């Protein structure tokens, strides 16, 4: 019995030892598998790097289907050529900046910065044009599921012309779920282009009226189809689109003409005031515009990195600088030459040369560029065929504000009343106790200050240089004469009209011939109406 009991105890110990050994082996195998099992992302990226061009699309599909949160950035980096593999096979990185020999990179799995790596140690995951287009549509499908409607709209626009048979079904499902009208229309066009390529005539109805260049390209291709019904329908749709493009082109020409006219209004409105009140032909008016532009440049030099604030402060600063210079010109030159227009013209022409040379000596003979603030940059897109540049839109609005302010000054202030009295009959105004000399000084300061405001606006449209004002002085006189000397409404109408006429003539006549034709038109007009569109009222004007 003792021997049996001893044998049973020994057998139990052996069995227990075998059990512990098996558990230890299993645990060791489990630990080994957890260490050696690669990240799912590593597996996908490895397959992507080793696949040829034909198989890469299947790997891209598997990356999308994986649902991995990192997949979008992987595909973005692949499309940009920034997803690369270390040549030693130790992992994948995303290049953050490819300049120089050492490139800063981030780990492709964690997206954490991984220092710098020599470009010789990296192999880029290459793609061809077909894969690049497929990636664009794949990424767009990612973005069509986000909440931001602007991001969805941008993604839908990226899909136009890029939809293939594989992506058609998921896009149609997203189209059925889309609630935003613009996004739905864009997705419908993307689907219609793909169906048009398959010969579907009904797709043309969706594409009709679209100004998108990719839609026009698809319709142009369909118009050359052997299917007569498809070709005829596509041709009709193209004819309608061409008509809309012509209307948009006319609207764009009108906009550019109004923006050019607003510049002419700003440049001429100060001249209209001084010319109407004092009868002075101030050839230095262009240089007052130039000083306003240089004031804007100087303010930006004093406030680097803040172009918007500098521009806003340049409005009062440009007005004051030009007004003070204008008072100096009036007190030092013009007051001694009243009643002698030819001598005044020659004297102010000499002043203009002096101011130009002074700027060349003190600042530079070279042009200076003024930074446009971010809120004035870019364009306002009305549709695919019409976009309005923001800087010209702001200048147009600014010109109208200056005009409105001047009208208030002329209609609602004592200075405006005295200016109108002196303009209509200087002798009678003197007899009524109005100090005509004081009115002359304030009027010249006001007109010169407005010229400075014109320079501030022009700095956002062109480079600032010593000859800036010379480009507008002749046009300013034409606007004043055409509109009626001393009449602000005439200046506004004449400036905008001449801007539009010049913009219409330039495309087929050229810049120089267009100006000649405008000048001939004004000469003929003045022969018919010597006092302009809106002649002055009063006995002096009638005489």
Q: DSSP 3-state helix, strand, coil percentages of the chain (rounded to 5)?
A: 70, 5, 20
Asked if 139 and 91 sit in the same domain, the reply is no
Cβ(507)–Cβ(513) below 8 Å: no
Give me the chain's average pLDDT, please: 82
State the total domains in the chain: 3
Cα atoms in the 13 Å half-sphere on the side-chain side of 89 = 3
> In percent, how much of the chain has pLDDT > 90?
14
Residue 189 is part of which domain span?
130-224
Cβ(454)–Cβ(290) below 8 Å: no
- Residue 176 in any domain: the answer is yes
The tokens describing 285, both together, are 């008016």
User: Is residue 54 scored above 70 in pLDDT?
Assistant: yes
- Residue 29 in any domain: the answer is no
User: Is residue 291 scored above 90 in pLDDT?
Assistant: yes
Give CA torsion, residues 493, 461, 513, 482, to 10 deg: 20
- Residue 272 in any domain: the answer is yes
- Residue 307 in any domain: the answer is yes
Chosen domain end from 206, 224, 242: 224
Report the pLDDT value the prediction gives residue 529, as an integer from 0 to 100. 81
Cα atoms in the 13 Å half-sphere on the side-chain side of 360 = 10
Asked if 216 and 272 sit in the same domain, the reply is no
Q: What sign does the CA torsion over 356, 360, 362, 368 have?
A: positive
- Residue 480 in any domain: the answer is yes
Report the pLDDT value the prediction gives residue 33, as an integer from 0 to 100. 40
Asked if 468 and 348 sit in the same domain, the reply is yes
DSSP letter at 120 equals G
CA 395, 397, 401: angle at the middle one, nearest 5? 115
Asked if 532 and 519 sit in the same domain, the reply is yes
Asked if 432 and 446 sit in the same domain, the reply is yes
Asked if 123 and 148 sit in the same domain, the reply is no
SS (H, E, C) 363-397: CCCCCECCCCCHHHCCEEEEECCEEEEHHHHHHHH
Bigger pLDDT: 398 vs 162: 398
The alpha-helical segments, DSSP class H, found in 303-434 are 307-332, 341-362, 390-412, 414-424, 426-431
Asked if 410 and 314 sit in the same domain, the reply is yes
CA 486, 488, 490: angle at the middle one, nearest 5? 90
- Residue 280 in any domain: the answer is yes
- Round to whole Å and give the CA distance between 131 and 372: 39
Asked if 71 and 175 sit in the same domain, the reply is no
500 CB neighbour count, 10 Å cutoff: 19
Asked if 201 and 179 sit in the same domain, the reply is yes
Highest mean pLDDT among 64-73, 105-114, 506-515: 105-114
Asked if 83 and 63 sit in the same domain, the reply is yes
Asked if 405 and 502 sit in the same domain, the reply is yes
- Residue 387 in any domain: the answer is no
- Round to whole Å and give the CA distance between 353 and 357: 6
User: Is residue 1 scored above 50 in pLDDT?
Assistant: no
Asked if 93 and 181 sit in the same domain, the reply is no
CATH of the domain at 208: 1.25.40
- Residue 18 in any domain: the answer is no
Cβ(380)–Cβ(390) below 8 Å: yes
Angle between the 414-424 and 436-458 helix axes, to the nearest 10 degrees? 110
CA gyration radius, the chain? 37
């Amino acid at each position: 019995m003792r021997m049996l009991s001893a044998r049973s105890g020994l057998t139990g110990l052996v069995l227990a030892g075998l059990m512990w050994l098996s558990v230890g082996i299993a645990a060791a195998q489990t630990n080994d598998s957890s260490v050696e099992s690669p990240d799912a992302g590593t597996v996908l990226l490895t397959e992507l790097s080793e696949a040829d061009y034909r198989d890469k699309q299947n790997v891209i599909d598997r990356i999308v289907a994986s649902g991995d949160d990192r997949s979008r950035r992987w595909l973005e980096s692949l499309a940009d050529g920034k997803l690369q593999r270390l040549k030693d096979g130790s992992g994948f990185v995303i290049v953050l900046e490819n300049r120089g020999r050492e490139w800063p990179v981030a780990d492709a799995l964690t997206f954490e910065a991984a220092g710098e790596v020599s470009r010789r140690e990296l192999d880029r995951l290459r793609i061809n044009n077909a894969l690049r287009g497929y990636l664009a549509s794949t990424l767009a499908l990612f973005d069509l599921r986000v909440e931001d409607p602007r991001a969805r709209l941008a993604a839908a626009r990226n899909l136009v012309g890029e939809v293939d048979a594989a992506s058609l079904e998921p896009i149609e499902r997203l189209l059925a779920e889309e609630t935003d009208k613009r996004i739905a229309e864009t997705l419908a066009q993307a689907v219609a282009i793909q169906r048009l390529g398959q010969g579907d005539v009904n797709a043309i109805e969706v594409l009709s009226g679209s100004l998108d260049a990719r839609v026009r390209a698809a319709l142009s291709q369909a118009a050359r189809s052997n299917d007569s019904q498809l070709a005829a329908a596509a041709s009709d749709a193209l004819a309608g689109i061409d008509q809309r493009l012509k209307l948009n082109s006319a609207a764009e020409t009108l906009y550019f003409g109004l923006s050019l006219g607003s510049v002419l209004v700003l440049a001429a409105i100060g001249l209209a005031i001084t010319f109407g009140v004092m009868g002075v032909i101030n050839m230095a008016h262009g240089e007052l515009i130039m000083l306003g532009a240089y004031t804007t440049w100087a303010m930006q030099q004093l406030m680097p990195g803040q172009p918007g604030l500098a521009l806003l402060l340049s409005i009062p600063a440009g007005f004051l600088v030009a007004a003070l210079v204008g008072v100096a010109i009036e007190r030092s030159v013009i007051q001694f030459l009243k009643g002698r227009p030819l001598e005044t013209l020659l004297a102010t022409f000499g002043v203009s040369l002096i101011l130009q040379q002074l700027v060349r000596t003190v600042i530079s003979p070279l042009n200076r560029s003024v930074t446009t603030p971010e809120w004035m940059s870019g364009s306002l897109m009305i549709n695919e065929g019409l976009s309005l540049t923001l800087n010209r839109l702001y200048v147009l609005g600014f010109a109208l504000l200056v005009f409105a302010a001047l009208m208030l000054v002329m209609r609602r202030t004592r200075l405006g009343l005295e200016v109108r009295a002196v303009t209509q009959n200087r002798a009678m105004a003197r007899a009524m106790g109005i100090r005509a000399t004081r009115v002359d000084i304030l009027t010249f300061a006001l007109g010169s200050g407005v010229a400075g405001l014109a320079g501030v606006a022009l700095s956002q449209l062109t480079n600032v240089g010593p000859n800036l004002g010379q480009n507008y002085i002749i046009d300013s006189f034409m606007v004043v004469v055409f509109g009626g000397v001393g009449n602000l409404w005439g200046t506004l109408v004449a400036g905008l009209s001449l801007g539009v006429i010049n913009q219409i003539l330039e495309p087929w006549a050229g810049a120089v011939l267009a100006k000649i034709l405008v000048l001939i038109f004004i000469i003929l007009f003045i022969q018919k109406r010597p006092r302009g569109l809106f002649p002055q009222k009063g006995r002096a004007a009638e005489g």
